[in-house]
Amino acid sequence: MWRRTLAIVFKELKQLSRDRMTFGMIVMIPLVQLMLFGFAINTDVRHLPAGVVDLSDTSYSRALVQAVAATQVVAFSARYANATEAEAAITRGEVKAVLYLPADLGGRLVRQSTAGVQNYLSEPVGQWLVDGSDTVVAATIRALRQMPLDEVMGRPVPVRVPSFEVVQYFNPEQRTVVNIVPGLLGVILTMTMVLFTSAAIVREREQGNMEFLITTPVKPFELMLGKIAPYVLVGFIQVGIILGTGHLLFDVPIRGGMDSLALAAMLFICASLTLGLVISTIAKTQLQAMQMTVFVLLPSILLSGFMFPYEAMPSMAQWIAEALPATHFMRMARAIVLRDAMVIHLGADALWLLGFTCLGLTISSLRFSKHLD
């Protein structure tokens, strides 16, 4: 049995190495997607033109302005004497936002920084005047409300009230790309793995190879196994490309162990490949296989937590998402890459992917008939 499986594996590898188109896709799909999502669809807003109204004019206020500027979200380009002037500047479109620091800034800062758990009397240290016509700008500035004040005071400041408030964990620079790369891993692997194998059986059928192959003693399970095994390798090449480029171009940190990540990727690759195989045994033509792949790909992008947070989806969508291998992998990948989790802690997702693979292999082997009708 292993001989025949190996024979198919080697045959597939040889064919793959001669198929320039597919070979190119293996490398180009991850690269192009990564660039697209990393650069073009970067929802981070940077260097918004902004102004300052500094009524206190103390060392505190200057430190605060500097701290805000250091986030690079805004670039201070003007100073205004009072709120009225600032409002006029926003109306004219000179700046998108103005940071208003009141005269009693020092007092507010002190109250803020010494506030105990019980003290709810403290108030925000400053105010942002925002051009609300652009929702992205508004949302970006709203995120700035929660800026920590440690640097301004030169000591840790317990945060109780939106001052420039809350601390952002794991992604302190608020860059979505860090969150996107592990997600992209799931999307790209779904796309390529399902695409490659969904064509695998159909192609042989369309090119006429199948009629010969099914008159040989090869067994359906051997054929299925032999068809997916070479693509596990392809999957790992892609994981390498995505993480490597993500690390080089976007400084995506890889906190978790590589072994955990490799194991999670392995499980996900196998699950996606068998999903493709099942499609391959259903589709009659390569075009149909392609359409069915898109049918799987869309929910994998939309529902897996890549686009929208899983928690925010209606329960029906969550229910569909749970059925997709991509959802489970994305959960694992984010946990491993960004939070240094280990596969053992993600047992449920890992088991689910394993089960999916076994089920997929069984279904495709049963569905594959060594008959032409």
Query: DSSP string of 221-275?
Result: HHHHHHHHHHHHHHHHHHHHHHHHHHHHHH-----S-HHHHHHHHHHHHHHHHHH
Using CB under 8 A, pick the residue from 214, 301, 354, 363 that binds other proteins: 214
Minimum Å gap between C-beta 252 and other proteins is 37
Cα-based distances in Å from 109 to 145, 159, 307: 14, 11, 38
Closer to other proteins by Cβ: residue 12 or 54: 12
Tell me: does residue 217 bind other proteins (CB under 8 A): yes
Tell me: does residue 116 bind other proteins (CB under 8 A): no
Residues 188 and 234: their CA atoms lie apart, in Å, by 12
Tell me: does residue 3 bind other proteins (CB under 8 A): yes
Tell me: does residue 285 bind other proteins (CB under 8 A): no
- Other beta carbons within 10 angstroms of residue 120's beta carbon come to 9
Greatest C-alpha distance within the chain: 89
Minimum Å gap between C-beta 15 and other proteins is 5
Minimum Å gap between C-beta 277 and other proteins is 19
Minimum Å gap between C-beta 361 and other proteins is 20
Tokens of 223: 């054929």
Tell me: does residue 111 bind other proteins (CB under 8 A): no
62-77 burial, b for 16+ CB within 10 Å, e for fewer?
ebbbebbeeeebbebe
Tell me: does residue 47 bind other proteins (CB under 8 A): no
Closer to other proteins by Cβ: residue 13 or 31: 13
Q: 167-206 mask for other proteins (x: CB under 8 A)?
A: ----------------------------------------
Closest CA to 276 of 362, 182, 160, 191: 191
Size of the site for other proteins (CB under 8 A): 27
Closest CA to 68 of 126, 113, 115: 126
Tell me: does residue 35 bind other proteins (CB under 8 A): no
Closer to other proteins by Cβ: residue 186 or 230: 230
Tell me: does residue 20 bind other proteins (CB under 8 A): no
Residues 113 and 307: their CA atoms lie apart, in Å, by 37
User: What is the contact surface with other proteins in residues (CB under 8 A)?
Assistant: 3-4, 6-8, 10-11, 14-15, 18-19, 207-218, 370-373
